[in-house]
Amino acid sequence: MSDFGKLNDYIIGASIKKLSAVECDQRSSNQHELNGTKQMAQYLGKDRITYPASFIRLEDEEEKIEFLQGSVTWYDARESHPTRSEYRFYYQENPAIALSSAGDALVVILKKDGEIIFVSAPEGSQSEIELHELFDESITDSFKSFDFTENNEELTITKRFILEEVGFELNANFGKDYLGIIESKFGSLAFPTTKEFSQLARDTSGELADFESVDEAIINWWDTEEAMFKQLEATIINDRLETGFQDADEFLSFSQSIRQRRYARAGRALENHLACLFETSKISFSWGQKTENNKTPDFIFPNIESYKDPGFSSDKLTMLGVKTTCKDRWRQILTEADRINEKHLFTLQPRISTNQTNEMQDFKLQLVVPKAIKDTYKNNQQDWLWDLEHLVAHLSSLQ
């Protein structure tokens, strides 16, 4: 079983649709209501009820995520009628609706803890594609509903990625208990360096030779470290909450440190595993070395010395950027190594839009994803995409 459980460990039911003008344009309507369906009543119930709610607006630029906590009321507008029902949501003003336009996607999710999530994304955006991928369904003008109580699908890396995008805190306690392994290795339940943590994840999940391919190895190493990290983080947070805080500032400082650690660790952990993979595959590289204008690409092949040698052919140079997610941030790597005309980017991002991958091709950026994630892309994109095995073969041929 997956360390992160199944979809129905987190979701009771969900519905998805395209918003109409009357539902999101304040010039058309100030009612703050959405029409529901009888299918939604199967997981939301038939009685009037007010749910705690989170309202989330996703944009392709990560810093543009909008978030508000509040409540929504689910009710039958014809509850006194003997035969007819007309289910509706009444909601407060919120970014998920207020920042939307006609045609944007809206997902309503009832979480296992009883909270409702309203999350919207622009039509045609990368974020809309991710919502589509979560439910494996096209988005139409009417709500499509899903009852997850009988859904035994385990959480893949792709599904986990999308759930976290819409605000889920995933629990890593459905599989192996890693706390004993961590304490045995480091002597206490405290965070080691990212390099040490990544090494322990590989020691625990297996060496490169234990897997059928480099693509399988990178996913297993990443999954294991994610589960280990979440179990350790949960323990440390719970211990700190029991100790308590002197004031709000101390609590906010602790919360900020959690966010910063998560962000810094994720990218570095992926680089750690790739570096081990390259070393084991006998591929020469430089890691985190500066090029022009003080830019720092993640990996230069065969090494930074060759890059800085004007007599070394640029055709034998390769640059690899690494981003756990990319969305619009892939453009950042385009200026990181001027001598290299065609650059490469490795990511765990599932199903990037065709518009984005077409633009990458225009800028001579080759996207690289693990095979398990490559399957989420459209067939015409897969023809162009590289998996990690392809990248390793390419690097080996140049060396």
Q: Supply the residues annotated as catalytic.
A: 307
Q: How many alpha carbons fall within 13 Å on the CB side of residue 104?
A: 24
Distance CA 58, CA 125 (A): 9
Backbone dihedral angles phi then psi of residue 189, each to the nearest 5 degrees = -95, 75
351 in Cβ contact with 377 (< 8 Å): yes
Q: Tell the burial category of 26 from Cβ atoms under 10 Å away from its Cβ (0-12, 13-18, 19+).
A: exposed
DSSP codes joined into one string, 136-199? T----SS-EEEE-TT---B--HHHHHHHHHTT------SS---HHHHHHHHSSSS---HHHHHH
343 in Cβ contact with 360 (< 8 Å): no
Distance CA 143, CA 208 (A): 45
Distance CA 237, CA 260 (A): 14
256 in Cβ contact with 36 (< 8 Å): no
58 in Cβ contact with 126 (< 8 Å): no
86 in Cβ contact with 73 (< 8 Å): no
Question: Do β-strands 105-111 and 49-57 pair in parallel, antiparallel, or remain unpaired?
Answer: unpaired
Element (H, E) at 52: strand 49-57
Q: Going edge to edge, which strands form the sheet with 299-301?
A: 286-287, 299-301, 318-323, 343-347, 365-368
Angle at 29 between CA 25 and CA 32, to 5 degrees: 95
Distance of CA 244 to the CA centre of its chain: 31
365 in Cβ contact with 334 (< 8 Å): yes
